[in-house]
Amino acid sequence: MTRNTAADLIAATLKARGVERVFALCGGHIMPIWMALDDAGIAIVDVRDERAAVYMAHAHAAVAGGFGVALVTAGPGVTNAMTGIANAHVSRMPVLVLSGTPPRPQENRGALQDMRHTAMVSSITRVARTVRHAHLLPHELDAAIAAALGHGGEPGPSFLDFPVDVQRDPLPEVLFKVEQIAGKRPPRTRAFDADLDAAAALIRGAEKPIVISGRGANRAGQALARFLTASGAGYLDTGETKGIVPDSHDAYIGAMRGAAMTQSDLVITVGRKLDFQLAYGTPAVFGGAKFLRLSDVAAELTDNRLSEVALLGELETSLEALSDRLQGYAPDRSWVRDLRKKHVQRSASLSEALASAPSDAQGRIHPNRLLGEIRKRLDPNAVAIADGGDILSFARLALSPATYLDPGPLGCIGLATPFAIAAAMAAPGRQVVAVTGDGAFGFSAMEIDTAVRHRVPVMIVVSNNGAWAIEVRDQKERFGKVVGTALQFADYAQMARSFGLKAWRIEGEDAIAPALDAAFAALAQGHAVLIDAVTSPEAISSDSKTGLAWVPDLQALAAWDTAERAWLEA
């Protein structure tokens, strides 16, 4: 092979940026890049579907930091990847997606997989470009990575594709030494001192402040914990930040979310949009509360509800600066203490409810009983993934890991297995457990093969409530007339064993503890394991009861829309 090609420069850039692995599915239009990555010593995690490749890049970035990389081939490779790209877009996760196109002399002549990928993905990416000249690569790669990381705007996926002949173009040695290969630290931003002073004064004047964290707070957990102590505010996490401040912190009042939101007189958002999960910040929920908003992205300071003070800058720096200004401040913490007491009581009640959740008349396990037993066995620093319909609603309340991932605001089910694989690679030595519904599992079930081939220690727990109906036919009639439907409790454990996983099927309460003990022991030994638990389809989650999904406090939100209408009419 010719050395110092454009493909080699792509690999050299990723290597210089600290990328250790790329999630990919092979194809002819990306072969030069594939081979260059291998030559550079970057591991290639080959997957069974391009959507999973992007999911894995997403989860790897979420757990390890930095940006994740997916490599997908042209045509169907890109169209398959688009769901994963859309999910990263809505979740604002830094992902770099690379692809290829036919050689330039074959463009617009009916070549295989000749498509304008950039036109398809431009609305769900920060950058979407075709690099048609190899000498532009250092600039284009640097710009795409910077955009993905959110330098100057919201983080999210970037997309670059390259004609296959461009990938093979030789480049002068000097281009491998330009500053864009390793990159530079991005410009830093910080809030003005006068605005920090005004924010501190706003906090001192509040009687019932709360802090709500989001995406931007994930890299500022220690600074956030210090700020909570200094400010005396109550704390509500969201799905974007679950686990960054432990439940044991005196400010944590997650089980009292509805009361905290409606009673607060100062709402402090930290790297968080006021989206549907927070009722858009409507006065119908938050009343006359004032707002103080902190973010490293300007768009998170002005959506839906304007604030008395807005602080734009690195969140860790802003939080530390506010904590310094609040030294010596002795707030009245009675309101937060009361909510904290009720939170602890509700949490204890939840633990009891998990342990005592009854099976149905056929002996099928209640999901809460299964989750309660998993909860007992989770390490303090575990990574947990929740995915699916009802089981996600149950798991979101039952599991409190150090790191938590779920489908996010796109509601993109089917990502548990890819997320778990990437999380385990990003955090070797940490326990990784994914809980998924049987329907959601089916979207990417083949990726258990990826876990086995790459020897990734993960646990996949399938809540098998037979949610997929099968037709029942009258065998007396020639063509078997359909006379009804029945639930199919497929044997996912048998499927997993055929791929080489250690797997257990749980049917009944008495089998839960022995199976989980054996599975967690195998996980600790480095095996990929799967639990196929037959759960009751009669167990109804709060999501199902309200008809709403993906919202932390669903019963409260069910009334919020009506309340907002009443407020608008008034």
pLDDT tens by residue, 242-290? 989 988 999 999 999 999 999 999 999 999 999 888 889 999 899 999 9
Quick one: 17 and 165 in the same domain?
A: yes
Q: Which of 177, 201, 225 is the last residue of a domain?
A: 177
Residue 233 in any domain: the answer is yes
Quick one: 170 and 205 in the same domain?
A: no
Quick one: 214 and 335 in the same domain?
A: yes
Active site residue 477: no
Q: Which of 471, 509, 564, 569 is catalytic?
A: 471
The pLDDT-based confidence of 392 (bands split at 50, 70, 90) is very high
Per-residue b or e along 483-503, where b marks 16 or more CB atoms closer than 10 Å to that residue's CB: eeeeeebbebbebbeebebbb
CA pseudo-torsion sign 85, 87, 92, 94: negative
Q: What's the pLDDT score for residue 159? A: 98
Quick one: 423 and 492 in the same domain?
A: yes
Q: What's the pLDDT score for residue 558? A: 53
What CATH number has the domain bearing residue 252? 3.40.50.1220
Quick one: 145 and 238 in the same domain?
A: no
Q: At what angle do helices 367-377 and 512-524 cross, to 10 degrees?
A: 40
The phi-psi region of residue 526 (left if phi > 0; otherwise alpha if psi is between -120 and 50; otherwise beta) is left
In order of 28, 52, 179, 449, 451, the CA distances from 45 in angstroms are 17, 11, 28, 12, 10
Residue 347 in any domain: the answer is no
Residue 95 in any domain: the answer is yes
pLDDT at 549 over 80: no
Domain housing 95: 6-177
Quick one: 26 and 87 in the same domain?
A: yes
Residue 346 in any domain: the answer is no
Residue 349 in any domain: the answer is no
Please say whether the beta carbons of 241 and 215 come within 8 A.
yes
What CATH number has the domain bearing residue 482? 3.40.50.970
Burial (Cβ within 10 Å: 0-12, 13-18, ≥19) of residue 26: middle
Quick one: 243 and 302 in the same domain?
A: yes
Q: pTM to 2 decimals?
A: 0.91
Between 324-328, 417-421, 460-464, 543-547, the lowest mean confidence (pLDDT) is in 543-547
Quick one: 324 and 464 in the same domain?
A: no
What DSSP letter does each residue of 190-237 carry, written as one string? ---HHHHHHHHHHHHT-SSEEEEE-GGGTT-HHHHHHHHHHHT-EEE-
Helix (H) or strand (E) holding 379: none
Task: Say how many domains are in the chain.
Answer: 3
Q: Which two tokens stand for residue 340?
A: 């904290």
Q: At what angle do helices 76-91 and 50-64 cross, to 10 degrees?
A: 30
d(C-alpha 164, C-alpha 73), whole Å: 10
The predicted-structure confidence for 35-87, as pLDDT tens digits, reads as follows: 999 999 999 999 999 999 999 999 999 999 999 999 999 999 999 999 999 99
Q: What percent of the chain has pLDDT over 90?
A: 76
Quick one: 234 and 286 in the same domain?
A: yes
Quick one: 373 and 497 in the same domain?
A: yes
Q: Which of 127, 147, 177 is the last residue of a domain?
A: 177
pLDDT at 546 over 50: no
Q: What's the pLDDT score for residue 183? A: 93
Quick one: 321 and 405 in the same domain?
A: no
Residue 562 in any domain: the answer is no
Residue 433 in any domain: the answer is yes
Quick one: 269 and 371 in the same domain?
A: no
Residue 33 in any domain: the answer is yes
Section 111-134 average pLDDT: 93
Q: Which of 341, 367, 400 is the last residue of a domain?
A: 341
